[in-house]
Structure 1
């Protein structure tokens, strides 16, 4: 069977640390044949280090010049939509890094392009592929938690403002911790809840720490050009009656260095996901269930291998694209609510 020919749009950290190593580990199925980045010198260096034969200074040139089966989009959020749609229109399956886009309208256009091209559009929500998440999903699908009616997601860092990249630039990112790390825990919760349709959101954002010089546990950030929120909080209600509370922060005065957690409550049981622990009542006794010896996995690698498998086997579903639009709708609503001071009907 012919190898899947893959191209990468973007030669930054997520490409070099995650996508390229994962594709190389699947070398029996995949061949990385092209790389494009507007920082052409950077692209040439990365290509030389990884034996990638074709290098371009634009993804348009790459898509016009090389026949590709799949593309990884690894550029800042502002450029997700255009790069993804161009790759889909060129007949490629696409793995786009999270979040889907800058806003719901862009995500919807990406979804429509995927449907039109009949190609797979998948987003980089790798926490779905953690052993804890997959184990929890098996228990939930078996009915062990019953009807999940409430949850809480947290993605909170004490002083974790990124000191590199464009993470503090709202124009290029679309937002701060909500759209960068909060989206991971939000997706994990929605994935485990069956991605219910959102109804109403209420949100608030805070900018209290990032605009001042301070201790940076992830390097020094550019506090003079800091245009994102430090923290975003919100509540989401769904059309099935469920609710979800969200807290996300790059910088907050809390004890732990960082917390990434999803907690769910159902009428037959509840669960914290990271690490996985479940809570039930059985035989007139309250019990806690803790799984033993869950396999250790590289979630990024597992995610990319799942993408490869779906591409090779032709498992082309619109589920990922639709979920991307749904989560972007929630994020948009939370930011809109924070700006207007009112709840937003979705």
Structure 2
């Protein structure tokens, strides 16, 4: 039996991490949860089948010696908790983003490699069946040369009304680092992480400081210090272009858009649900189509992490890829803040 602990007793910890670990009690022992709020941690442990709760991670590691650890804290605390877990010999599943800076993500990657431990990030969208089918089409050459990719994670009125999502000091940013990062990873994963040449971006804060209510609840506009929306162009060394659009609030027609489009010289594709198509004499011909997008992404992501930590040779969103994504996020914010392109 391998021992499992969770650091951070919030919503994602309960609905994703604890929910999956509870399905693996035949080979996993749920030993502890850590949260600075003693009551919240104790309640979480009781409600989700964990034996004990702690307010201090160091005490938990010294006492429980877990083999697998999930990091579900606000983004600002990812780095310290991941490094502590690795230092104590635990495999780690960390919520996105990897860290607050690219340098932190690089240090996490290097330390995991030094310790010979699994460090994975919960970029769960890449585990959808849709993703597998589109990536196969890309690798098999069905799309030909993909020269433009458009990734969108847009909400018309979707500021999270809970947690610390509007607090830049705790989160590092707004929609880019919360939802845009998922579609950025999805696009980069399908494209096999091509080398980046240049990043150009623009971000806006126009609505979140005026409004106070949306689809996901209410927030205090006087404490809203993240961006409303980000628009970025990522140029690859191979000549390809990736456009990324992401927003919490944006005066758009659709309530939300979460998808990636690939434009190749032989065919095009969209991810959610998966569809591959081409033009023949002016008529659209569908080469592959799923009617409904795969919704088991979180489960498959957690399953891959646990199985990888137990020795299986399976794909995870690993530490190197996490670093590459964090590096792009940092470059996008840097370009938007400076008003100029950033070369990598």
TM-score tier by shorter-chain length is over 0.9
Counterpart CA distance in 2 for 1:319 and 1:21 is 20
Quickly say closer, same or farther: Cα 1:271–1:281, change in 2 above 3 A. same
Q: Which moved more, 1:295-304 or 1:12-21?
A: 295-304
Select the residue among 203, 218, 234 that pairs with 2:232: 234
CA-based RMSD of the aligned residues comes to: 1.9
Equivalent residue runs for 1:294-333 within 5 Å: 296-315=294-313, 320-333=318-331
Counterpart for residue 184 of structure 2: 186
Counterpart CA distance in 2 for 1:87 and 1:20 is 18
Matched, 1:169 2:167: yes
Find the residue that maps to 2:15 and give its secondary structure.
Answer: helix
Q: CA offset at residue 17 of structure 1?
A: 0.9
Q: CA offset at residue 282 of structure 1?
A: 6.3
- Deviation per CA, 1:251-307, whole angstroms, max 9, x where unpaired? 000111111010111222110111222122569975123424678442111100111
Counterpart CA distance in 2 for 1:136 and 1:39 is 43
Counterpart for residue 126 of structure 2: 128
Quickly say closer, same or farther: Cα 1:192–1:296, change in 2 above 3 A. closer
Instruction: Please report the TM-score for the alignment, with normalisation by the length of structure 2.
Output: 0.95
Q: CA offset at residue 186 of structure 1?
A: 0.4
Q: Which runs of 5+ in 2 are unaligned?
A: none
Counterpart for residue 145 of structure 2: 147
Counterpart for residue 275 of structure 2: 277
Counterpart CA distance in 1 for 2:264 and 2:219 is 41
Counterpart CA distance in 1 for 2:160 and 2:283 is 46
Quickly say closer, same or farther: Cα 1:62–1:316, change in 2 above 3 A. farther
- Deviation per CA, 1:110-136, whole angstroms, max 9, x where unpaired? 111111111011001000011211221
Counterpart CA distance in 1 for 2:167 and 2:42 is 26
Matched, 1:245 2:243: yes
Structure 1's consecutive aligned runs of 4 or more residues displaced over 6 angstroms after TM superposition are 282-285, 316-319
Alignment length, in residue pairs? Answer: 344
Counterpart CA distance in 2 for 1:330 and 1:87 is 25
Find the residue that maps to 1:313 and give its secondary structure.
Answer: coil
Quickly say closer, same or farther: Cα 1:180–1:237, change in 2 above 3 A. same
Counterpart for residue 29 of structure 2: 31
Counterpart for residue 261 of structure 2: 263
Q: CA offset at residue 31 of structure 1?
A: 2.1
Instruction: Please report the TM-score for the alignment, with normalisation by the length of structure 1.
Output: 0.95
Quickly say closer, same or farther: Cα 1:59–1:316, change in 2 above 3 A. farther
Q: CA offset at residue 153 of structure 1?
A: 0.6
Counterpart for residue 224 of structure 1: 222
Find the residue that maps to 2:160 and give its secondary structure.
Answer: coil
Q: Which moved more, 1:12-21 or 1:308-317?
A: 308-317
- Deviation per CA, 1:303-322, whole angstroms, max 9, x where unpaired? 00111111112549897111
Counterpart CA distance in 2 for 1:253 and 1:143 is 38
Quickly say closer, same or farther: Cα 1:194–1:297, change in 2 above 3 A. same
Find the residue that maps to 1:164 and give its secondary structure.
Answer: coil
Q: Which moved more, 1:26-35 or 1:232-241?
A: 26-35
Select the residue among 37, 41, 49 that pairs with 1:51: 49
